[in-house]
Structure 1
Amino acid sequence: MTILSRRTLLQSLLATAAMPALAQPNGVPGPNPFRYEDVVSRARELSRAPYEAPPAQLPEPLNALSFDDYRDIRFNPDRALLGSAGGPFRMQLFHLGFLYRRPVTVNVLRDGVPTPVPYQRELFNYGRNRIERPLPVNLGFAGFRLHYPLNDPKVLDEVIAFLGASYFRFLGMDQKYGISARGLAINVEGGEAEEFPHFREFWVEMPKPHAERATVFALLDSPSVAGAYRFHIYPSKETTVEVTATLFPRQSIPNVGLAPLTSMYFEGENDRHQTDDFRLELHDSDGLLIQSGAGEWIWRPLRNPERKTISSFQDNNPRGFGLMQRDRVFENYQDLEAYYHKRPGYWVEPMGDWGEGQVELVEIPTPDETHDNIVAYWQPNQPYEPGQEIAISYRLRAVAAVGGMHPGGKAINTFQAPPRASGTNAPSDPTHRRFIIDFAGGNLPYYLGDPGQVQLVPSTSAGTITHTFIVPNDHTKGFRAAIDVKLEPGQSTDLRAFLKAGNRTLTETWTYPWSVD
């Protein structure tokens, strides 16, 4: 990082803010405007050099900040950036400290000219923290967030935040933070330690008046890869982020995760844990939704497993996948602080040819709701190798109304229980299990007048299906289906089920894993 004096940086920032156009006073054209291709060139050059780890220590007392100490450091809203051109976006910066020890450089692009934002003490309110000595002007920041009048034309709401490694989160109207996205995931499933690529530098365009989008460029770095990213951010009811990336591997990467999503699932109706809590469900997301390249819609309820579990869904050019919060009923959460029923799902829509690979779902045991334990991403079949230049693009959407994702019926509830005979108290057989699925929506209400036309189509990859039934469910305006499965000890299976009428498929495909120890 180039070391500049505070005075030089402040003078540069002021000069850039006053610059009317990219031209010299004598009419000679000025420098070319900064573009995505410039970030690509930097990433290419960066990949040819050995990876340089960031400094391990921050200036004191930033190294010793606790969670509460760090939370007491707040950006002063009246110092927000990006407003001088009259655009609707404002930028606030995150201070370094606590878990966020990796400095990032944040630049503002005005008329295509990049100017780094210098650290200034006056940007922050430190609360009860005491910073006795001046901190260096090139300290950098932990990240930043953008505000926009998302819910009210007179109120600036946070719409997106980049903070920590390559993590970012964004919101649509009337949504609350939960799930996160990442730029890239490496070795999530492998036996070696997971690698966390990080955004080391950002360039944020100064929005014009009445701008309907914000644009952010980012430079990604890690021991295995360097990369260039562009984010077009469109705030709306379901905010959309268009992501373009170019990756340059430093070494072979057999386990790479594209468009990774990270969420939390502690417990829900399909996976109950005996916790002493008045809240019935605790999760940011409750299922993985996939639209395969062939057009099939697949719903996989999430779990909090006893051990790390990896589920793979092979595909060719997937049309979309995402971690969804399908249950939107407040009474199922009863949480007036976390607002789990208002947390968005993130839907990934690939742009262009992604080829053969698999959507992978990683579920990690968690003892409580404070840990992110769910990861989903696309893994290509072919590993990335040094010397390659990989270009990818996709859309991310913050989904609230999950009922509109596809026109078919949805699996809205999953339950499981021992298949006991009615009126008996005999001990349950641990190798025998009943799975109950509520399907609703689509054309299912049409068939309630003649439920005999609706058929359950179940399958299992192992074991035996011993019994099934399907009955109308007037409460959901759909159908309740049940599948009894028997496995041998040590076996595991993947169950699948959908509803049809004649040759017409009525619902998405529900799938769920089960094993007997």
Structure 2
Amino acid sequence: MFDRRQFLQFATATAGLAAAGFPASALAQQGLRYGAPSAFSFEGLKKRARDMAASPYVAPASPSPEILNQIDYDAHGKIKFKTDLALWAKGPSEFPVTFFHMGRYFQKPVHMHVVEKGQAREILYEANYFDMPADSPARKLPENSGFAGFRFQEPRDGKLDWRKNDWVAFLGASYFRAIGELYQYGLSARGLAVDVAVFGKNEEFPDFTNIYFDTPQVGSDTVTVYALLDGPSVTGAYRFVMQRAAAVIMDIDCAVFMRKDVSRLGIAPLTSMYWFSETAKPSAIDWRPEIHDSDGLAMWTGSGERIWRPLNNPPRIITSAFAEQNPKGFGLLQRDRVFDHYLDGVYYDRRPSLWIEPQGGWGKGSIQLVEIPTDDEIHDNVVVMWVPADSARAGDSFEFRYRMHWSAEEPFPTSLARCVATRFGNGGQAGTARPKGVRKFMVEFLGEPLKKLPAGVIPRPVLTASRGEFSNILTEAVPDDVPGHWRTQFDLTTQGTEPVELRCFLRNGEEVLSETWLYQYHPTP
């Protein structure tokens, strides 16, 4: 129910919109106030981004920094959008839209628009869209300050209460994320990565400054969102077609226009957190056995090789580049799904995996992995992205299409045995003095090809290292009575502290049995 003052505000706003020919379906969004109509199309959005790239960058103006700085983490958490006012709370979409308020950590306004029949109208901010304490600093913000982001709620007729559950959220710069089949948020994606971990340059974080919600037909199981990207060195136009199935599927079309030269332009970037796992954990650093949103990078190369690269918490910022041409896919995965390996009520065992499926040929480039040291779980310290081989210089433009799969497992599983664990410790033999500079590695594989091995046949590991020497190589079935569960162990002797690139897969004769395990080992003094 609205009070009289709210009703008069609504009546005044809707009367003006009706005179402008505002669609009847939008009039049903009681309580939301809209701006004047303007023509909208994706091609028009691309042209706008192209034109912007030819002009100097102008940062979005924060409406009132001194007030927004008072809306800290705790104050922001007390500001809740009123679900009765959600966009499409009564249709036509099955998925209502709610909005995030601005605050200390989200000071750039994002303009939200509704599109219907080729016309876009901005949703104008009002403080009364939100429940907030009487003394909240947010009440002092000027009229139409703007929103920080948005989220899609679960379907109105779904098994979950849509007012309390969402499945996609866009918040901060060009960041967005979705839940997977296990109903848990985890890693994030973003529209673009600009100069991540480039020596002598600061990373840029371009913003989605304008969002457009395309009004769907009644009964549609997808939602379409358009976004305008703007930053000091780049602009862009994006289209997201998103489906809430068992997994969340996003089809993304983007056109990117360069304002300035960029050393490392990251397409389809993923951002995650990896602190430690069973692979390497400093003694008594935390009571939990593992803490990570993702435990490895999976790649499916253009030549068909399947690769698994466990993540590291390295001693310094490390960038690894895997040269490719027309990759079939890549992603950051959470393969370890055992609760007892985490013992945490935030459910790291349920964090989604995110797989990028390129659409059309992406040509030459590299899948690049950036790993940044961290001493806490609050920092996203892992970035994965596609970096085109072609330089990104002022005046250049790029177009890419790809599909995102937010799921529990990779959407195109290999028929080969998968790597399921990486462990290492002191090398040498039990009962003898352990030699310095020697590490013992234990790599576990599990899968149908190993399960089908004839009795008595032992798979052969194919091992390579960028430096160092192997010894004490042994492959055996893991003694846990799980069919197809094997492990290869070996000692690696090295000198110095420079990283060592390791590679291993299993074969029987000429038959490849497993995906390829890659690992970057950082020797300690």
What TM-score do the two structures reach when normalised by structure 2?
A: 0.90
Q: Residue 220 and residue 20 in structure 1: after superposition, are their counterparts in 2 closer, same or farther (change >3 A)? A: closer
**What is the CA–CA distance in structure 2 between the aligned matches of 1:315 and 1:118, rounded to whole Å?**
45
Cα distance, 1:302–1:133 mapped onto 2, change above 3 Å: closer
> Distance in 1 between the 2:156 and 2:285 partners?
37
Q: What is the alpha-carbon distance in structure 2 between the residues aligned to residue 264 and residue 58 of structure 1?
A: 32
Contact 2:71 / 2:138 at 8 angstroms: preserved in 1? Answer: no
Amino acid at match of 1:188: V
Going from structure 1 to structure 2, the CA distance change for 1:249 and 1:118 (only over 3 Å counts) comes to same
Q: What residue number does 1:312 align with? A: 321
Report if the CA contact (8 A) 2:297-2:330 is conserved. yes
Q: 1:128 to 1:137 in 2, by over 3 A?
A: closer
The 5-angstrom pairing of residues 407-426 of structure 1 reads: 407-424=415-432, 426=433
User: How many angstroms apart in 1 are the aligned matches of 2:505 and 2:148?
Assistant: 47
1:34 pairs with 2:40: yes
- Aligned position for 1:356: 364
> 1:333 is matched with which residue: 333, 338, 342?
342
User: Comparing 123-132 with 484-493, which one deviates more in the overlay?
Assistant: 123-132
Question: Using the alignment, how far apart are the partners of 1:276 and 1:353 within structure 2?
Answer: 45
Unaligned runs of 5+ in 1: 22-30
What's 1:80 paired with? 86
The 1-side partners of 2:218 and 2:124 are apart by 25
Match of 2:268 among 252, 259, 262: 259
Counterpart residue number, 2:450: 444
In structure 1, what is the equivalent of residue 221 of structure 2? 212
Q: CA deviation at 1:148?
A: 2.4
Deviations 1:322-379 (A, max 9, x none): 100000011101112x110110011001111111111111111111111111110011
- The count of aligned residue pairs is 500
Q: Matched residues in 2 for 1:12 and 1:395: separation?
A: 41
Q: Tell me the distance in 1 between the aligned counterparts of 2:146 and 2:297.
A: 37
2:34 matched to which residue of 1?
none
Q: Is the 8 A contact 1:85 1:206 kept in 2?
A: no
Distance verdict in 2 for CA 1:13–1:498, change over 3 Å: farther
Distance in 2 between the 1:99 and 1:395 partners? 29
CA contact (8 A) 1:33 1:111 kept: no
Contact 2:333 2:409 in 1 (8 A): no
Distance apart, 1:501 and its partner CA: 1.2
Which one of the candidate residues 158, 169, 173 is aligned to 2:177?
Answer: 169
Deviations 1:384-409 (A, max 9, x none): 12222211010010120349621111
Judge conservation of contact 1:229–1:246 (CA < 8 Å) in 2: yes
The answer to whether the 8 A contact 1:150-1:173 is kept is: no
Q: Which residue type is aligned with residue 370 of structure 1?
A: I
1:147: Cα distance to partner?
A: 1.1
Q: Which residue does the alignment assign to 1:300?
A: 309
Deviation at 1:153, TM superposition (A): 3.7
SS in 2 for 1:38: helix
- Report if aligned partners of 2:65, 2:107 keep a CA contact under 8 Å in 1: no
Gap change, CA 1:515 and 1:151, over 3 Å in 2: farther
Residue 463 of structure 2 corresponds to: 458
AA partner of residue 102 (structure 1): K
Q: Could you say what the CA RMSD is over the residues aligned between the two structures, in angstroms? A: 2.4
Which of 98, 105, 113 is 1:92 aligned to? 98
Counterpart for residue 233 of structure 1: 242
- SS of structure 1 residue aligned to 2:268: strand
266-275 or 10-19, which moves further after superposition? 10-19
- Specify the alignment match of 1:117 in structure 2: 123
Q: 1:245 aligns with which of 227, 248, 254?
A: 254
Is the 2:331–2:355 Cα contact (8 Å) retained in structure 1? yes
- Structure 1 SS opposite 2:154: strand
- CA gap 1:224/1:266 in 2 versus in 1, 3 angstroms: same
| Identity value in percent | 37
Closer, same or farther: CA 202–422 of 1 in aligned 2, 3 Å:
same
Task: Note if 1:188 corresponds to 2:196.
Answer: yes
Query: 1:70 corresponds to which residue?
Result: 76
Q: Partner amino acid for 1:358?
A: S
- Equivalent residue number for residue 511 of structure 2: 504
Q: Distance in 2 between matches of 1:436 and 1:65?
A: 49
- One-letter code aligned to 1:352: G
Q: How has the CA–CA distance of structure 1 residues 269 and 20 changed in structure 2, closer, same or farther, with 3 Å as cutoff?
A: closer
Unaligned stretches of 5+ in structure 2?
1-8, 28-36
Distance 2:218 2:479 in 1: 52
**More displaced, 377-386 or 442-451?**
442-451
State the SS of the aligned residue for 2:106.
coil
Distance 2:58 2:82 in 1: 33
Is the counterpart of residue 108 in structure 1 residue 114 in structure 2? yes
State yes or no: 1:222 paired with 2:231: yes
